[in-house]
Chains A and B, each alone.
Chain A
């Protein structure tokens, strides 16, 4: 069941109705929140972006960092609307120039996120964007990358939170803003 986090905004109810839940993906027992069906509804997609833009414009945010790959869908439209740069955070080996890397743990094993050196300057105010927060491992790694480069992470922004996985607790006290939660 999904519920709006953002008050009673009618736009959020529409957004919820456009997200498709796919059982047993990528493995049995997981109810996958598929945002591709939201992207097929131009009004609902625009509403999702507008909700973030309304929150962040006028907040002196100069960096929107998006996590590969679904963060690349939501981050750039937000960045463009608020006049910020967009910084892609990528899996290893994708970025062509010198990078800083942050390892993070998965259920089994670990993974790594990278950011170009020089993409952010010290003291810049940054958002981190992804479609969903689950355990918070990837978002935590993303925050670490930005902070290591001297930026201030103002907030993490996702469409969907899976609160049962307690990802919010892995964000070192940084605020998290989501449009809806799914159980």
Chain B
């Protein structure tokens, strides 16, 4: 049974209906998936976290890495519930200590994400969390950052997948778990 999308769980319907779709943001043609309305529904927000926690709590995961900024909303509650550390992955210049950086491509140009040196240790098992996977560029950069320092990325976890942008393909052999797939 394909369970990577959690289709069978009755909580998914409530979560899905709490997400607001905004046409033409940030630019024309994009249907933006606004999770702020999910956060306004305490039951839907709790159910979202619970679905991830149930999946990961017995998987010996010691690191939850969350991508700035919406990954900071979902990552910490998961980390707290499974007893893992939370590691913020940030835009350049935000982290105060020594960092390692990974560049990745955008539609036009490049961007970078950074992680503190020493946040994770060789051999740790990690999740990477963000609200949504689109092209997969940011997630791939996060995975590379963690793997460069010897961490095993067990899975990427997102609330929403934009299937037609094929982020899952870009992730290659790295597993991806999402609650909702949107086309």
Contacts and interface: CB of A to CB of B under 8 A. Distances in A.
Interface of A: 20, 22, 25-26, 32, 34, 36, 39-42, 45-46, 49, 68-70, 72-74, 76-77, 79-80, 83-88, 90, 93-97, 116, 119
7 A-B pairs with least C-beta separation? A72-B72, A22-B96, A25-B96, A96-B25, A96-B22, A39-B86, A86-B39
Contact of B85 (A39, A69, A79): A39
Kindly state the interface size class of chain B when it binds its partner: 35 or more
B80 A45 contact: yes
A76 B116 CA distance: 23
Interface of B is mostly: mixed
Interface of A is mostly: mixed
Nearest to A91: B69
12 contacts: A22-B96, A36-B88, A40-B85, A42-B84, A45-B79, A46-B80, A70-B72, A76-B45, A80-B45, A85-B41, A88-B69, A90-B69
Given A45-B80, A86-B39, A97 B97 contact: no
A119 B35 CA distance: 12
A39 B95 CA distance: 13
Nearest to A66: B73
A92 to B, nearest CB: 12
A36 B34 contact: no
Given A77-B76, A77-B80, A79-B42, A97 B85 contact: no
Given A22-B97, A80-B49, A97 B42 contact: no
